[in-house]
Amino acid sequence: MPAPILEVTNLVKNYGDVQAVRGVSFNVEEGEVFGLLGPNGAGKTTTVEILEGLRTLDAGSVRVCGLDPQVSSRELKHEIGASLQSTSLPDKLRVMEALRLFASFYKRRRDPEELLKRFGLDEKRNAYYSKLSGGQKQRLALAMALVNDPRVLFLDEPTAGLDPQVRREIYDIIEELRRDKKTILMTTHYIEEAERLCDRVAIVDHGKVIALGSPRELKQRSGGKTRIEVKLARPANNGSLQGLEGVADVREVDGTYVLHTQRPPQTIVSLVKHLEAEGNELVSLEIATPSLEDVFIEMTGRRLRD
């Protein structure tokens, strides 16, 4: 088996007193779409920026395409493509000019014309960057990341801040890249995104990897149990809910009771009976099929979003 294209071993990065990354390790194989899933501030972007050679590390080691970004940053940059978070282009740069400009920086190049067509920007070729919509800007960012036909692609929050329809557009593009066997490291705080796009996911929280595996493995690890979220008029005690039929575990997350159960119908019936007996009332009830969110709640006792 060939060496992994990305190797991250016990990576540590501090900003002053803040430990942004605290011993992260993972490998990414060639042709794999690997996701770093976690809330904002979990250290995902810092990890990616160290791999891209934009930041120095404090401890541990990383290798990208067999190169050390600290040492061979120049060489490395020919091999990688990146779409960054919070970046921009000059307002009055035209779409085609941007692609041509960035293509000119590399030894290995793809035809900007072809990229323009593939990313549906052909009609916008002469538009100023400032006149593009959010989705068009993101498509251009992806096209620009591919302009050197990179061996590994870094996508930092590729759909953050986009509306749902545009987000699906971006998903389609990434899925196409996945079919082409492009190696991708992406970060996201959207569960659906990680589940849908990634071959493997590392769930990151407070600078640490708390779970790693394919989305299916991770979900199975939480037992394939259905999640029932209920809000009650008055607080109940966890112990009493734990005793309901089929319930494997109960947690209170931000005032909502999260029950994991293998037998949802029975659990709901017994929940309603229990509340009646207690004189308590159901304010809301939500049923969710198992997702990576459950893994996160199980590991941290918190929700991923917000």
Residues of this chain that interact with another protein (CB under 8 A) are: 52-54, 74, 77-78, 80, 82, 84, 86-90, 92-93, 97, 101-102, 104-106, 144
Where do we find the tokens 């996945």? Answer: 178
> Looking at the chain, how many residues does it have?
306
Are the beta carbons of 192 and 223 closer than 8 angstroms? no
Give the list of residues 6+ apart from residue 164 with CB closer than 8 angstroms, or none.
none
Cα(217)–Cα(275) distance, integer angstroms: 35
Q: Closest approach of Cβ 206 to another protein, in Å?
A: 20
Q: Which of residues 59 and 93 has its CB atom nearest to another protein in the complex?
A: 93
Q: Closest approach of Cβ 163 to another protein, in Å?
A: 22
Where do we find the tokens 């990890």? Answer: 47
How far CA 281 is from CA of 60, 265, 269, 299, 306, in Å, comes to: 52, 18, 14, 29, 27
Give the list of residues 6+ apart from residue 30 with CB closer than 8 angstroms, or none.
2, 4, 5, 183
Q: Closest approach of Cβ 21 to another protein, in Å?
A: 16
Give the list of residues 6+ apart from residue 220 with CB closer than 8 angstroms, or none.
none
Q: Which of residues 51 and 173 has its CB atom nearest to another protein in the complex?
A: 51
Q: Which of residues 103 and 212 has its CB atom nearest to another protein in the complex?
A: 103
Q: Nearest to residue 85, comparing CAs of 190, 162, 160?
A: 160
Q: Which of residues 186 and 259 has its CB atom nearest to another protein in the complex?
A: 186
Cα(303)–Cα(306) distance, integer angstroms: 7
Cα(50)–Cα(13) distance, integer angstroms: 9
Q: Closest approach of Cβ 5 to another protein, in Å?
A: 17
Assigned token pair, 250: 């109960």
What is the H or E stretch that residue 251 is in?
A: strand 247-253
Q: Closest approach of Cβ 97 to another protein, in Å?
A: 7
Q: Which of residues 16 and 279 has its CB atom nearest to another protein in the complex?
A: 16
Assigned token pair, 155: 């996508």
Q: Closest approach of Cβ 281 to another protein, in Å?
A: 49
Q: Which of residues 106 and 171 has its CB atom nearest to another protein in the complex?
A: 106
Q: Closest approach of Cβ 74 to another protein, in Å?
A: 6
Q: Which of residues 90 and 301 has its CB atom nearest to another protein in the complex?
A: 90
Q: Which of residues 17 and 254 has its CB atom nearest to another protein in the complex?
A: 17
Which DSSP category does 238 fall into?
Answer: H
Q: Closest approach of Cβ 44 to another protein, in Å?
A: 16
